[in-house]
Amino acid sequence: MRVMAVDYGDERTGVAFSDVMGILVGETFVIKEWNLQTLAEKLAQTAVEHEVQTIVIGNPKNMNGTEGPRAEKSRALAQLVFEKTGIEPVMWDERRTTVDAHRILSENRKFGRKRKELVDAVAASLILEGYLGTIR
């Protein structure tokens, strides 16, 4: 069961895939896209190409557990992805994933432009890792 995780951002969206057994985090990359419709199409195409059975989309809740405008945007993306793939995305609490991604990149001496290009992919891998941990 291959799983795709998505860390949605206004400029860059991180994507991570599990292995075919749905156990390990594998490939990660970033899609640079500002248009929500186009992003949903690219994610749907990517899901088909990678034979994904489950899509997990980060749900950026506030630290107190409430949802704000970013969560609404993520839900809108989830709805579009569902319409294009027929796969109902799992909304995953992604609190602190971006903070943790920055910490991981700092510990590995990735700064500046290199960090900016990687942080969303690392955040997507953290979302995927968390999800995979719950289904094992």
Tell me, what's the pLDDT at 108? 72
Residue 13: pLDDT band (50, 70, 90) is very high
CA nearest neighbour of 117 among 5, 13, 6: 13
| Contact (Cβ atoms closer than 8 angstroms) between residue 78 and residue 108 | no
Give 25-73 pLDDT, tens digit per residue: 999 999 999 999 999 999 999 999 999 999 999 998 878 878 888 899 9
Average pLDDT for the chain: 90
Residue 118: pLDDT band (50, 70, 90) is confident
| Contact (Cβ atoms closer than 8 angstroms) between residue 25 and residue 129 | yes
CATH fold of 3-64+71-135: Nucleotidyltransferase; domain 5 (3.30.420)
Residue 6: pLDDT band (50, 70, 90) is very high
